[in-house]
Amino acid sequence: MEQNIKLTKLAKCAGCGAKVGPGVLMGLLEGLKTHTDENLLVGFDKSDDAAVYQLSEELALVQTVDFFPPIADDPYTFGQIAAANALSDIYAMGGEPKLALNLLCVPEDMPKDAVHALLLGGYDKAYEAGAIITGGHSIFDEEPKYGLCVTGFVHPEKLITNSGAKPGDILLLTKPLGSGILTTADKAGLLGSKERAKMHGIMATLNKSARDAMVKYRVHACTDVTGFGLLGHLLELAQGSNVSAELTTARIGLYDKVLELSAKGILPGGLFRNRSFAQALVDCGKTDPALLNVLYDPQTSGGLLMAVHPDDANALLAELLSCVPLAQQIGVVKEACEKRIYLK
């Protein structure tokens, strides 16, 4: 395989940092006519992780799509992370992925071995998830991009959306924050090999184990934390559920060295788009500015953010820690207040 290719050098943005900002996206979607269907349980108007269509009393189809430019230089690693990121949307809804289609953009001169390794990374990760890649679509592009369109299934009564959180629920998060900042540092040659390998390993980890634990308990709402950052996705959850949330910032897991890099101003552009969208509804209190940056940082293949019944929170967290050792209890859901998110 071609060893000298540096995929991240071929793209302006990396991973979910390339995502259209939430405020811009709302403007682009404004005014679009939506059609109703009694079997459509979740559509794009819900700002949720995937669409859900009920097929029968016992079966609903869950569908999502996600792709982005390289988050890693190694093609196989990029393929794994991109696939894990796309599959995560199905897990966030409580579903199980079954079928997937490749979405591939490659420069005409990209080495064949590199393209093969990229696709193999995606295939291997999909297989690990129990899904089958059955085809896809490919085009030439100046920048490489890869992802999946994923179809999964869930029992309609076991569907978990991002709009069911209740006051008193405990907020759990299953992966650390800061991948956008670390990736920005990596593109600038400022990240060590140890930190890079750890970040890639976490991003390539499926949220399958977290989902499998979650569905055993009274989880009222869930979303995966990706391009809009923790505060952006939590804001969508709070607004959809008509609640507020209080985060204990000291409990939020962070990647190594991310605060140091944040304090130096090594920040991705998506972070500023996320801040612009959410900050009016966030009471940041006395939160350190470097940490606040991380809370807005766009994540790639981030963890699941769950709102779980308080009586189930300890048991779920204990089970998560047995299979997802970086899981944390980070806050609590409150009655709706003037602001949607309070940091302490």
Residues acting as catalytic residues: 16
Helix, strand, coil shares, percent, the chain, to 5: 40, 25, 35
C-alpha separations of 268 from 114, 228, 229 in Å: 26, 12, 11
The dihedrals phi and psi of 62, each to the nearest 5 degrees, come to -120, 125
Q: Which tokens sit at 188?
A: 């600038």
Which of 252-276 are b and which e, b meaning 16 or more Cβ less than 10 Å from the residue's Cβ? bebbebbbebbeeebbbebbebbbe
Cross-strand pairs, 64: 150
Per the CB < 8 A criterion, the answer to whether 67 and 147 are in contact is: yes
**244 alpha-carbon distance from chain centroid:** 21
